Amino acid sequence: MNDEGVTVVWQGKYDKFYIGGEWVDPASNATFDVISPASEEVIATVPQGVAADMDRAVGAARAAFDSGPWPRMSLEERSAIMRRFSELLGERQSDVAELVTAEMGCPITLSNGMQAIGTKLVLDAFIDNAPLVNWQSTREALNGKALVTKVPIGVVGAIVPWNAPLLTSMLKLAPSLLAGCSFILKPAPNTPLSAYLMTELLEQAGVPDGVVNVVAADRDAGEHLVRHPGVDKISFTGSTAAGRRIGEICAQDFKRLTLELGGKSAAVVLDDADLDVVLPAIRAVSFRNTGQVCSNKTRIVVAKSRRDELCDRLVSLVESMPLGDPFDPATELGPLVSATQRARVEGYIEAGKSEDAKLLIGGGRPAAQGKGFYVEPTLFANVDPNAKIAQEEIFGPVLAIMTAADDDEAIAIANNSKYGLNGSVFSVDEDRALGVARRILTGTVEVNGAGSGFSAPVGGFKQSGLGRECGIEGFDAYTEIKSYGISEDMYDKLSG
């Protein structure tokens, strides 16, 4: 452990960037401090990338794509290297989890599951799905014959958030590399340490020089990456406001773009729902990562006849969830990532109080935590569906409970949002639940808490983004479709 009591699992080159297959000195002396959300102490200092660093990374990625071996390898060859990368991730699972917990405060049990195991599962799913993609096909029409292929899109710039740094990185890295692209990763300033470890493992796995480049940077350098003419594709996960700005920039040059943005997902509890199914699901996917997940179900829409029972049981649920040291395996609620994020969440709690919602539990800072960016898990009932806490993404452990007279009103409340990322429906009648789910305007809906897995596409309707990640569809964002007119002999050869 270091002086702050935080386990240090990778004593690597925190003073350098990984560009062109080498650990290189940064172009400036600017740095970021990585602050423990639990202790409020500095646990590491890393260089802050500037435009010159991004230029160098783009140059390396461009050379690797234009003249390097990676795009010219077979899918089988690229997959073999990525399987080795997966093996190394598995061997370092506990290290990945500890780094993410240290830098962003995710409870260690969840870090082991969502952040470490989940990252490997995403990679493995992409490796398994890659051969199922229709990379090449032949087409025939009265006026000609064609070969239709999917080819790598080129140089990919990926900008990822702090809440699940490696998981969101892998949603972009795995399909990019398997498709034959080169890659530039800009991790968030809060969470660069896990990216350093991932980079070391990619290097060990045998990814050729320049195929992956990693530069931690602020928004200005990130915008430079987005604007760079050497970048063919931007993939961004983060806020809708930042996504809108990136979309405006990319539109100027018709640059390819994937956006996975905000959410305000609803859990719809119908009048026949089994609360013994509902409560564990809310525990798992409403308070997950102390509320700091875009797909969390933070609006609870309950049938009027079940409101009081559900509210009572939700209060008991919150009281049963241990809050504290994120390195304690028993902890379910850790600190928020930063003082800024805590202030944001507290502002929404005050808004809920001012809008006459009923505060059931929480609403303050836990007295037992002298240090750290902690906020009590908070429940508001009798929330107006148009209230601020029902419409805006809070990104903290705050749930808004609303009531509906019938299924139609529940669906209307669920769809009363500028977002459309995720949702869930609970009913003992699965056909009824699926019928309601079909009418909810989101990219994913979980029926009775059932997850869809990493082979199904995820993404958002409305202001929750553009494009899809995961599944066979996840490769579409990193390929271009190319057609060739061919002779009848060539057609017969390729079709056979």
Active site residues: 260, 294
Closest CA to 9 of 105, 106, 103: 103
Partners of residue 462 on adjacent β-strands:
419
CA-based R_g, the chain, Å: 23
DSSP strands (E only) in 222-363: 233-237, 256-260, 265-269, 297-303, 358-361
Look up tokens 């290189």; give the residue: 24
Residues contacting 85, CB < 8 A, separation 6+: 123, 201, 202, 205, 207
Burial class (CB in 10 A: 0-12, 13-18, 19+), 254: exposed
Burial class (CB in 10 A: 0-12, 13-18, 19+), 74: exposed
Look up tokens 């699992």; give the residue: 9
Closest CA to 158 of 469, 431, 422: 469
Identify the DSSP state of 455.
T
DSSP strands (E only) in 238-356: 256-260, 265-269, 297-303
Closest CA to 460 of 182, 259, 218: 259
Please report, as a single letter, which amino acid is at residue 238: G
Pairing of the two strands 256-260 and 465-466: antiparallel
Burial class (CB in 10 A: 0-12, 13-18, 19+), 224: buried
- 157-170 core/surface letters (b: 16 or more CB in 10 A; e: else): bbbbbbbbbbbbbb
